[in-house]
Amino acid sequence: MVLYDGSNGVALGVNRVEGTTEPATVTVILAKNEAFSVGEAVAGALRYSSRVVVMDGHSSDGTVAVARDAGAEVVADPGKGKGAAIRASLNVVTEPVMVFMDADGSHDPADIPRLAAPIHDGAADLCVGSRFTGGSEELSLTLGQLVRTIGNIAMNVAINERWKVQLTDTLNGFRAVRRAAALAVGLRADIHTIEQEMVMKMLLAGFRVVNVPTHEYPRRHGESHIRIWRQWPRFVGNVAAHLMRRTRPIRLDE
C-alpha cells in the first residue's frame, strides 16, 4: 500500500515487499553501446518485472547479443534519440504499467517495485524516481553535471509553481508510467527532453505525477550520451513552451 498526500504529489511512504512485482509490469531499458553493463541491468530488472524489453539505439558494440543472452527482448529503436525510443516502446509494449530505466548501471533494479507501486495502486499515473531525496553520485561531480543539477532544480521550481505540486525531480529517466496515459498525452520529443515533456503533459492533462526516492549511481562504463551544453537550451525552451499552455484534462476509459 502506498500513502500519498494527493494535494501535492508527494509520496508519504511505501509499504511493499522488495523483490516482488505486479504481473503486468514491464521494464523498458534504453540502451546504446552499453554492452559492458546492459546484461547486469537486464538480469536485475527481470527479478522485478514480468518481462524486460531493451530498446536498442543501433549499437555497434555487442549490446544486442548481451541483452538477449541476459533474457531481454530486444527491439531496434528509430535511431533518433532517447525520446524516439521511449515513444516507440509505447507501441511495442501492451501491458498497462511500464518502468523505464537506463542500461548504464546508474539505476538500481530493486527500485522497480517502489516506482511501479503507485501506478498499480491507482495513486498515480506517472512516478518519477527522485535523486534529490534518494541521493545521487552524478549530480555535481563535474561542471556539466553541476549545470544539470542547477537546471533541474530551477525547472522543478517552475513546474511546481505552475501546477501547485511539490515534485523534487522531473528529469530522472528512472520512472514508471501508466501506458494509456503516456499514449494519451501525445509525446513528441526525440531526445532526452521527453522526460520533462512527459511530466508537464501529464500535469496539463490532469494526470497524477508523484516522486519516490531512488538512488543514482555512477555509470558503470563509458560516457553519458547527454551533451549538456548543446541540449540545455532545448530543455529550457521546452519548459517555457509548456508552462504557457492551458490545462486540458484527459479522461481515460479503462
Q: What is the distance between the alpha carbons of residues 124 and 116, in angstroms, rounded to a whole number?
A: 9
**Quick check: is 49 in a domain?**
yes
**Quick check: is 60 in a domain?**
yes
Phi-psi region of 178 (alpha: psi -120 to 50; beta: other; left: phi over 0): beta
**Quick check: is 139 in a domain?**
yes
The neighbouring-strand residues paired with 101 are: 29
**Quick check: is 14 in a domain?**
yes
**Quick check: is 249 in a domain?**
no
The neighbouring-strand residues paired with 129 are: 212
In the chain, how many domains are there? 1
* Confidence (pTM): 0.85
The confidence score (pLDDT) of residue 14 equals: 36
The confidence score (pLDDT) of residue 11 equals: 41
The confidence score (pLDDT) of residue 46 equals: 98
- Which grid cell is 217? 549511481
- How many other C-beta atoms lie within 10 A of the C-beta of residue 243? 15
The confidence score (pLDDT) of residue 151 equals: 75
- Provide the CATH number for the domain around residue 8: 3.90.550.10
The confidence score (pLDDT) of residue 19 equals: 47
Residue 217: closest CA among 138, 132, 134: 138
Domain span at residue 59?
2-243
**Quick check: is 248 in a domain?**
no
Q: Would you state the torsion angle of the CA atoms of residues 212, 177, 95, 78, taken in this order, to the nearest 10 degrees?
A: -120
The confidence score (pLDDT) of residue 48 equals: 97
- pLDDT per 10-residue tile (average), the chain, 254 residues: 38 40 80 97 98 97 97 97 97 97 96 97 97 73 66 89 95 96 97 94 98 88 57 76 90 76
